[in-house]
């Protein structure tokens, strides 16, 4: 290979800022080629996919609605990934939170009042956190790889949801459809304005992002995360407990995924169904990386990935291609983000040049 | 056909894709690369095999296409993790997401189309033997290939010089590099081999297991294959036992569902995943066993000094 990686003397500030933008540009370029290969004019394809969803009030609201769970989950995951803890089962924790929170409107019919929704939120966050603590406990107690256990539990959560909505939680008046009863008005995520689609989840997500930013940069505990992630040895010498951090990171990310889950079923969906997420828990992994594991960056990245969902729907309706193209764009984006991040720490040198320098 | 024969035959069908994919992942991990994109490569193999078999009518061309699709899918992962030293966990996830999306797009045209089934090879005379004839001598070519492949991988890793180099790369890339082994080349080959194996596993799913295309038909088998490698503590021999054990769990829950056992089908369906977690926990408990064989440089990026 004529080029070799060489470590930079210090991280490139320029690349730190621009690497996500370059990644998005590369994704768009690849997307253009993909549209061309499908026989679609690339300009028209990209316009339909990435610009038209931004041009109507309805779809702008939809963008916020889809960005909300991505941001909430992404913030939780960024705390894990900063500590080098790999929770990739947020999709399952999202479902667990939705189920725990839905117990109230489905099984406690008749309870009304202003306390119903806060109780659902609390139950949802607790459900997500507890479900996330399973891989954490298996990791700490038995050394079981958390990547694999957290991922496998996603399937378990989804089957459990499927059982509930087809079995005990099916709406008795629902003509045998696999759906729960519709939640009562007290159990619905409050909307920002009447008749719209946006619910309070988005302002909540922004507040949580600000809190997370403060926590990560201005508190000792937040600093510990950084140390444990970047230098486990130094963290041990400093007396930071790796095991406590595993429990903490999983609990926080599980609670945030659970919060996203209960707000989604109590909000845009309004009931439980066999499928309650178009893969938010997995897409949020991309959100976390695109946002450079920075809470504010994650808010922005959440909108980029939300747009990829809307674009997929638009492409299906307008261009007549499969909405699976959204997953393709998402996967490509993660590839490019990771590749661009390499340039923050490394630079490419011609082999000859390296020899001269040394 | 006797009932025990039917059960053993279906266990073999369920175990074969796991064995193939895990075999490839084992080689990649022995070279120090943790590829979590097995699920994505496997489903690319499945859709590639289905598409080519459907349009040519030949299941054998389908197999070749599956292998090719899996290997091709592993290339961007190899380039990123080996040449660009990206995080292996995240890059593998990207590969899985991309593979699931791309296969869904390609496969849309084939939903509901009748597939081409790969037929078993009846070995004249032997397949009529009582008790074992149908089980041992009436399988399709991929089943036989999976066993041969496993033996070859074992011989390669532990009886050849090249295999020793590969293990050295996985255990201490700096030492291997200092001794003149091309760490990156070995890792590229290992990852591409892993992709080809995952692709073949996918081909088996869409040509034999259920000869049709359904979106996401790998259903987590790629992840189970990754766990199998840990279960086998990176030893090919134990992989065989593990794959057949997991194949049995996968298939027995289906038999139980068909027999109308009074347990909700969703609980039975989640059994293989729960069993996988339990097995992973049981193996991980014995930390010395895991440590002894796990490649020391697994998941660590390699940047040569010069």
Per-residue pLDDT tens for B56-109? 999 999 999 999 999 999 999 999 999 999 999 999 999 999 999 999 999 998
Q: Which residue of B has its CA nearest to A348?
A: B84
Residue B93 falls inside a structural domain: yes
Q: What is the pLDDT of residue A1?
A: 52
Q: Cα separation of B133 and A37, whole Å?
A: 50
A35 touching chain B per CB within 8 A: no
Residue B133 falls inside a structural domain: yes
Residue B97 falls inside a structural domain: yes
User: Chain B closest CA to A320's CA: distance in Å?
Assistant: 12
Q: What is the pLDDT of residue A74?
A: 98
Q: Which residue of A has its CA nearest to B88?
A: A338
Query: Which CA distances in Å does B284 have to A232, A313, B280, B288, B291?
Result: 21, 43, 6, 9, 9
- Give the residue from A96, A305, A68 showing the smallest Cα distance to A204: A68
Q: Which of A143, A159, A328 sits opposite B266 (nearest CB)?
A: A159
Cβ-proximal residues to B35 (8 Å cutoff; 6+ apart), any chain: B25, B28, B29, B41, B74, B77, B81, B88, B92, B95, B191, B194
Q: What is the pLDDT of residue B304?
A: 79
* Mutate which: A87, A96, A131, A152, vs B, most B CBs within 10 A: A152
Q: What is the pLDDT of residue B306?
A: 54
Q: Cα separation of A333 and A326, whole Å?
A: 11
B109 touching chain A per CB within 8 A: no
- Give the residue from A132, A315, A335, A73 showing the smallest Cα distance to B88: A335
Q: Cα separation of A93 and A261, whole Å?
A: 8
A2 touching chain B per CB within 8 A: no
Inter-residue contact A145 to A88 (CB < 8 Å): no
Residue B105 falls inside a structural domain: yes
Structural domain range at position B105: 3-293
Q: Which of B105, B184, B276 sits opposite A324 (nearest CB)?
A: B105
- Domain harbouring B15, CATH code: 1.10.3470
Q: Which of A142, A328, A335 sits opposite B80 (nearest CB)?
A: A335
Which residues, given as ranges, of chain B have pLDDT below 50? Answer: none
User: Within 13 Å of residue A135, how many CA atoms lie on the same side as its CB?
Assistant: 30
Q: What is the pLDDT of residue A231?
A: 85
Surface of B (27-86) touching A: CB under 8 A: 36, 40, 76, 80, 83-86
Subunit contact A156:B220, Cβ cutoff 8 A: no
Which residues, given as ranges, of chain A have pLDDT below 70? Answer: 1-2, 351-358
Q: Which of B227, B270, B304 sits opposite A159 (nearest CB)?
A: B270
User: Chain B closest CA to A290's CA: distance in Å?
Assistant: 12
Both tokens assigned to A292: 């450079």
Subunit contact B230:A145, Cβ cutoff 8 A: yes
3-class secondary structure, A191:
strand
Summarize pLDDT for A3-45 with one digit per residue, the tens: 778 888 888 888 888 889 999 999 999 999 999 999 999 999 9
Subunit contact B97:A330, Cβ cutoff 8 A: yes
User: Chain A closest CA to B152's CA: distance in Å?
Assistant: 28
Q: Which of A325, A339, A358 sits opposite B86 (nearest CB)?
A: A339
- Give the residue from B266, B225, B280, B42 showing the smallest Cα distance to A143: B280
B276 touching chain A per CB within 8 A: yes
When divided into structural domains, chain B yields a total of 1
Residue B304 falls inside a structural domain: no
- Give the residue from B85, B160, B68 showing the smallest Cα distance to A7: B85
A159 touching chain B per CB within 8 A: yes
């Amino acid at each position: 290979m004529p080029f070799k990686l060489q470590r930079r003397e210090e991280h490139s500030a320029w690349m730190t800022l621009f690497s996500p933008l370059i990644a998005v540009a590369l994704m768009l370029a690849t997307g253009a080629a993909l549209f061309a290969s499908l026989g679609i004019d690339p300009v028209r394809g990209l316009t339909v996919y990435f610009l038209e969803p931004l041009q109507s009030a309805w779809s702008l609201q939809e963008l916020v609605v889809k960005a909300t769970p991505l941001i909430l989950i992404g913030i939780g995951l960024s705390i894990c990934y900063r500590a080098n803890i790999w929770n990739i089962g947020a999709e399952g924790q999202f479902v667990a939170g939705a189920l725990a929170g839905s117990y109230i409107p489905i099984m406690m019919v008749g309870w009304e009042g202003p306390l119903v929704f806060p109780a659902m939120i609390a139950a949802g966050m607790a459900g997500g956190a507890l479900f996330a603590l399973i891989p954490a406990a298996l990791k700490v107690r038995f050394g079981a790889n958390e990547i694999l256990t957290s991922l496998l539990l996603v399937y378990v959560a989804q089957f459990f949801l499927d059982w509930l909505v087809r079995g005990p939680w099916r709406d008795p008046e629902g003509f045998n459809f696999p759906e729960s009863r519709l939640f009562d008005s007290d159990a619905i995520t409050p909307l920002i304005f009447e008749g719209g689609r946006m619910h309070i989840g988005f302002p909540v997500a922004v507040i949580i992002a600000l809190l997370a930013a403060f926590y990560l940069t201005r508190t000792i505990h937040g600093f510990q995360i950084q140390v444990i992630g970047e230098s486990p040895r130094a963290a041990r010498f400093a007396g930071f407990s790796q095991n406590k951090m595993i429990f903490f990171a999983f609990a926080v990310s599980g609670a945030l995924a659970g919060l996203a889950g209960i707000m989604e079923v109590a909000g845009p969906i309004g009931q439980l169904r066999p499928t309650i997420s178009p893969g938010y828990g997995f897409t949020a992994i991309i959100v976390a990386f695109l946002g450079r594991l920075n809470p504010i960056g994650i808010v922005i990245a959440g909108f980029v990935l939300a747009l990829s969902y809307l674009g997929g729907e638009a492409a299906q309706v307008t261009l007549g291609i499969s909405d699976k193209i959204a997953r393709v764009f998402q996967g490509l984006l993660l590839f490019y983000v990771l590749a661009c991040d390499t340039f923050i720490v490394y630079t490419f040198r011609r082999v000859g040049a390296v020899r001269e320098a040394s | 056909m006797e009932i025990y024969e039917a059960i053993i035959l279906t266990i073999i069908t369920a175990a074969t894709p796991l064995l193939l994919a895990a075999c490839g992942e084992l080689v990649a991990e022995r070279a120090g690369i943790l590829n979590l994109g097995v699920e994505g490569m496997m489903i690319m193999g499945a859709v590639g095999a289905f598409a080519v078999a459907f349009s040519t009518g030949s299941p054998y061309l389908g197999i070749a296409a599956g292998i090719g699709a899996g290997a091709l899918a592993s290339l961007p992962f190899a380039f990123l993790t080996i040449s660009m030293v990206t995080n292996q966990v995240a890059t593998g996830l990207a590969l899985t997401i991309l593979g699931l999306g791309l296969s869904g797009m390609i496969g849309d045209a084939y939903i509901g189309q009748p597939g081409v089934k790969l037929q078993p090879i009846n070995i004249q005379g032997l397949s009529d033997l009582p008790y074992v004839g149908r089980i041992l001598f009436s399988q399709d070519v991929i089943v036989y290939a999976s066993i041969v492949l496993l033996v070859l991988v074992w011989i390669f890793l532990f009886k050849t010089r090249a295999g020793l180099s590969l293990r050295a790369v996985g255990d201490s890339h700096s030492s291997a590099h200092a001794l003149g082994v091309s760490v990156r080349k070995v890792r590229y080959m290992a990852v591409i081999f892993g992709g080809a194996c995952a692709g073949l596993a996918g081909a088996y799913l869409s040509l034999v297991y259920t000869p049709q295309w359904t979106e996401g038909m790998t259903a987590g088998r790629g992840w189970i294959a990754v766990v199998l490698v840990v279960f086998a503590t990176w030893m090919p021999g134990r992989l065989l036992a593990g794959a057949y054990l997991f194949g049995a769990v996968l298939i027995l829950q289906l038999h139980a569902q068909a027999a109308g056992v009074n347990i909700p089908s969703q609980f039975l369906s989640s059994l293989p995943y729960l069993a996988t977690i339990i097995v992973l926990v049981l193996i991980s408990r014995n930390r010395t066993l895991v440590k002894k064989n796990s490649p020391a440089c697994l998941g660590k990026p390699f940047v040569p000094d010069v």
